[in-house]
Structure 1
């Protein structure tokens, strides 16, 4: 059978099924090639057997994800040539087909059936490889929802590939996003999320149709447990909270790494690492922690440490006197803290401060500096800024940074308590009011955000022009376009010509307001100015697509729309997600 004059079926990659539970079939095919992918080669083709809206939407999400995610270790495809419909003879409807590159190797479920449980070193390597892929997947705005050993392929050269994006979801389509947007089905009263899960790999929130990006981390942790134990997950016992009891089956795994895997598999998604960046940072630190763990648990080390501490403290107190003794306590405490022994370090610090209270500022600065070095681990950052504030309760910088760490962790009590302390010390802190406004905005508490942005502008004056910009954007989000336009013009009148990024953001907000008020020519002009100032702003390309379409310039609208969809963003703004989804809907409607 020759399809589209280029695709010839070679063989099915699994037994063909008439089951109602199988919505697609997968074939190895010979592809004669296209302009995008020249040369004849063997590839994989997935064929959707069902024509219902739900299955088509899911299939097209996979197409969009594979096109959007730029990583060499996921299946490569080009939706222009590789996604098409095909009408076989005697079929009442068209079949949707997706062709992608074939990945050589064996999936890890097949591999572990014929190999011994993997070592800790290999587990760390494989975990880091998959998280690095997942990092790009999440940054592109998707989460996988079906990570498991059978969906990871080991290439003969040792690299891992993540496959089967059939369950992929946009981050903006999560249960929490639907709740936040109020997208409840008027007939059922429920939020329209499809529940897709794999037994023993998917967390409870995903089984209940409430998956979040951290659901991928749960599945990833269970995948590694499958590989380090060599035991099928269904054969591992669980405790009363549903957590796997697995450590006795993997004696090669040290406690720090085992603790980390259990954190990935925490029942509550809020107890798992919040981002892929944090996981990657933690993985870099784990070998050091494992080495320290083994060393500090050895009997010779414990005995010698106790004897040395007693001897050293006694000698210092006797020969040098209390001031020098206190300084040495601080030095010992710093060394213990660098070895992650915070509890013992604080005992020494507290003793030192009792002898010399002025040392508290030195200890506070020590913790402040450590916090600045652990930016990738928000929990550690929060811990150290807390300690910095403990030893110097009047340090405004510690409270500012602590508040930001708590914001990223979404620890609302910590945020409120920290800003209360900060404003007690410095009521006119414009940066504090600006950061608190950002936090309220992420919670969609727009009235509170506006109040804090206005305070930032009041106290910061010319320094707080970013608050003017954000306030303009916030008014656009709420539909107050005239006020958004007024604020953007105010900001442009004061913003220095050298600050191109700020001026670009202000022109974008001005154009957004004009676009929504149907001043399409004015919006187009301001967006072109914003683009000249900062060509990396994805939101400008999205708005240009809308403006050009409104002006009837369909070719330009299409070009800008493609950049809007495919460009990568460092910060995910909800309006950009919405504009991308609108673009995708229009594209699929045209198809």
Structure 2
């Protein structure tokens, strides 16, 4: 059977080897090379813009090769916006190079006029992936395991990494658009909603309001949305690359629960999906990660595919530790060891209990009140445990219990005065309180006791000098620190502080260079984005300034200087209005 391309044809299927449609007379050999073998979407649906077919493609004269492929046909060409989206999909597929993205070439996009010349069809031919989409997979196999979810997450983020690094984002990630191939590999398809990440686009997003085409600036931003999978900002025409992460998180909720998202309740206060109880086989660390992907605001989600890949690398280890701790064998072994040690001596029993509570505290670092309880018990059973006192102080810092912080650091320094990590921790505590003289004293001790290895303390010292408007001292410290560390996180902080100092010294080219290095090393450094925004604004590059102000304003940060910069730019905006 071969099909007619004419969407208005009353009898589209024809016998094999027929040259022209028996019903409407249009040729069945499209563009001299393609025959439509079977529809992959319903031909009866009049509400869709496209037909999708499995086709036999004999190739071009220069590259003759008979292949089974997929062809998407735009049925109506009177809507310029839809045509633009269709042409954009063709360009995206030509640019992106990844085994999990359909291959398509320049020759694979063409227009085809019907016999009556009244209708011109736009066509894209692309690679066909064998297999079933993930919506079909779940219906046939049920919810996925944790192990499989980690594998699939890694595959999809690697595909998205290629997409985002190439300057695009997808805008329509959902189970139906992900193909599971027979070899277990995943493919991401349907780039019809794909968008290019350009300065112009981000400027439109930052200045548009909340309708389906944007507000306020006269810009139009085409809305593409899928119920339950599109984030709030995309529904209102303000999709950003992080919108893909929201849709990915929602996709995995469906895969892990095998329950339609519309059936899962939403917390009315937080806007979060209440899905965890429906996936009891999933560890807390993975569930937390998926909830982070689905955060309500783009600035609260991971800011890049690289950040997600780094977090994914740590998840299997966390999951393994969690499974071991929950296992009956582990608990039995722990009880047995406790009994043996109790018999061998009460002191050994106390030390073991202290180690157990210390370990439990370390498992709950994201729950400071719980961690505090366990670290406190660890110090009760081993009053000489410097690490337990130090970690207890850190937990108290998160709870803003000043007395607890001071008491426990005092105990640390009595037991071990030259522990640089605790000196740094106390310095950070004073720093967060705005007690910069006390913070500077502890940072210098941390540098001294670490034999000049604590370059994170050097970075924070440089930040204090910038806040005190001692920019030459800040720059000198940052340069010294950069010469002594290869730690990317510390380098990011040092470059940021060096860029800050150069900006204030009106050395704007250097400032831009150092700040760009900072965000390249750590894409979540909100203060560096704020400083870049100010730098571009001063040199008159307002398009770039808008982009970086958007990140500065939308991302989470508790730094007082960031809050100050935000207030300043918002005040200026209010004055203009």
The TM-score bracket by the shorter chain reads 0.5 to 0.7
- Between the aligned partners of 2:142 and 2:116, the Cα distance in structure 1 is 50
Work out which of the residue numbers 269, 279, 284 in structure 2 matches 1:250: 279
User: Residue 473 of structure 2 aligns with which residue?
Assistant: 426
SS in structure 2 of the partner of residue 244 of structure 1: coil
Q: Cα–Cα, structure 1 residues 364 and 24, in superposed 2: closer, same or farther, change >3 Å?
A: farther
- Between the aligned partners of 1:290 and 1:422, the Cα distance in structure 2 is 46
Matched, 1:288 2:317: yes
- Between the aligned partners of 1:107 and 1:367, the Cα distance in structure 2 is 53
Matched, 1:212 2:260: no
User: Residue 525 of structure 2 aligns with which residue?
Assistant: none
Matched, 1:155 2:184: no
User: Residue 361 of structure 1 aligns with which residue?
Assistant: 420
Matched, 1:350 2:409: yes
SS in structure 1 of the partner of residue 141 of structure 2: coil
Matched length: 422
Instruction: Assess if the C-alpha contact under 8 Å between 2:459 and 2:497 holds in 1.
Output: no
Instruction: Assess if the C-alpha contact under 8 Å between 1:105 and 1:153 holds in 2.
Output: yes
Worse-matched range after superposition: 188-197 or 101-110: 188-197
What's the TM-score once normalised by structure 2's chain length?
Answer: 0.62
Work out which of the residue numbers 84, 89, 95 in structure 2 matches 1:68: 95
- Between the aligned partners of 1:18 and 1:316, the Cα distance in structure 2 is 72
User: Residue 57 of structure 1 aligns with which residue?
Assistant: 84
Report deviation, 1:191.
Answer: 3.2
User: Residue 306 of structure 1 aligns with which residue?
Assistant: 353
What's the TM-score once normalised by structure 1's chain length?
Answer: 0.60
Work out which of the residue numbers 443, 456, 467 in structure 2 matches 1:398: 456
- Between the aligned partners of 2:183 and 2:494, the Cα distance in structure 1 is 53
Q: Cα–Cα, structure 1 residues 162 and 17, in superposed 2: closer, same or farther, change >3 Å?
A: same
Report deviation, 1:66.
Answer: 1.1
- Between the aligned partners of 2:214 and 2:380, the Cα distance in structure 1 is 75
- Between the aligned partners of 2:110 and 2:66, the Cα distance in structure 1 is 19
SS in structure 2 of the partner of residue 145 of structure 1: coil
User: Residue 304 of structure 2 aligns with which residue?
Assistant: 275
Q: Unaligned 5+ residue runs, structure 1?
A: 318-324, 369-381, 405-414, 441-447, 461-470, 480-591
After superposition, where does 1:147-546 map in structure 2 within 5 Å?
147-172=173-198, 176-179=202-205, 189-240=217-268, 241-294=270-323, 306=353, 325=384, 329-330=386-387, 350-355=409-414, 358-363=417-422, 392-394=442-444, 397-398=455-456, 401=459, 419-420=466-467, 423=470, 426-429=473-476, 435=496, 449=503, 452-453=506-507
SS in structure 2 of the partner of residue 426 of structure 1: helix
CA RMSD between the two structures: 4.8
Q: Cα–Cα, structure 1 residues 342 and 160, in superposed 2: closer, same or farther, change >3 Å?
A: farther
Instruction: Assess if the C-alpha contact under 8 Å between 2:465 and 2:474 holds in 1.
Output: no
Q: Cα–Cα, structure 1 residues 136 and 403, in superposed 2: closer, same or farther, change >3 Å?
A: farther
- Between the aligned partners of 1:53 and 1:400, the Cα distance in structure 2 is 57
Report deviation, 1:56.
Answer: 1.7
Report deviation, 1:426.
Answer: 2.0
SS in structure 1 of the partner of residue 69 of structure 2: strand
Report deviation, 1:84.
Answer: 0.9
SS in structure 1 of the partner of residue 56 of structure 2: strand
Work out which of the residue numbers 25, 29, 48 in structure 1 matches 2:55: 29
Q: Cα–Cα, structure 1 residues 277 and 261, in superposed 2: closer, same or farther, change >3 Å?
A: same
SS in structure 1 of the partner of residue 162 of structure 2: helix
Instruction: Assess if the C-alpha contact under 8 Å between 2:393 and 2:405 holds in 1.
Output: no
Report deviation, 1:333.
Answer: 5.5
Instruction: Assess if the C-alpha contact under 8 Å between 1:137 and 1:143 holds in 2.
Output: yes
Report deviation, 1:126.
Answer: 0.6
Worse-matched range after superposition: 149-158 or 9-18: 9-18
User: Residue 571 of structure 1 aligns with which residue?
Assistant: none
Q: Cα–Cα, structure 1 residues 133 and 402, in superposed 2: closer, same or farther, change >3 Å?
A: farther
Q: Unaligned 5+ residue runs, structure 2?
A: 1-27, 339-348, 358-375, 448-453, 480-492, 515-534, 544-577
Report deviation, 1:364.
Answer: 5.5
Instruction: Assess if the C-alpha contact under 8 Å between 1:145 and 1:168 holds in 2.
Output: yes
Q: Cα–Cα, structure 1 residues 166 and 174, in superposed 2: closer, same or farther, change >3 Å?
A: farther
Deviations 1:419-466 (A, max 9, x none): 4168479255476997468689xxxxxxx9585425969xx9xxxxxx
- Between the aligned partners of 2:426 and 2:91, the Cα distance in structure 1 is 45
After superposition, where does 1:572-591 map in structure 2 within 5 Å?
none
Report deviation, 1:122.
Answer: 0.6
Report deviation, 1:37.
Answer: 5.3
Q: Cα–Cα, structure 1 residues 13 and 399, in superposed 2: closer, same or farther, change >3 Å?
A: same
Structure having the larger proportion of residues in helix: 1
Report deviation, 1:129.
Answer: 0.6
- Between the aligned partners of 2:320 and 2:407, the Cα distance in structure 1 is 24
Deviations 1:37-94 (A, max 9, x none): 5410111111112222211211121112111111111000002x11111111124142
- Between the aligned partners of 2:76 and 2:265, the Cα distance in structure 1 is 38
- Between the aligned partners of 1:403 and 1:28, the Cα distance in structure 2 is 63
Deviations 1:227-252 (A, max 9, x none): 11010111111110332111111110
SS in structure 2 of the partner of residue 178 of structure 1: helix
- Between the aligned partners of 2:215 and 2:266, the Cα distance in structure 1 is 38
User: Residue 559 of structure 2 aligns with which residue?
Assistant: none
Instruction: Assess if the C-alpha contact under 8 Å between 1:146 and 1:202 holds in 2.
Output: yes
Matched, 1:97 2:123: yes
Work out which of the residue numbers 38, 41, 45 in structure 2 matches 1:11: 38
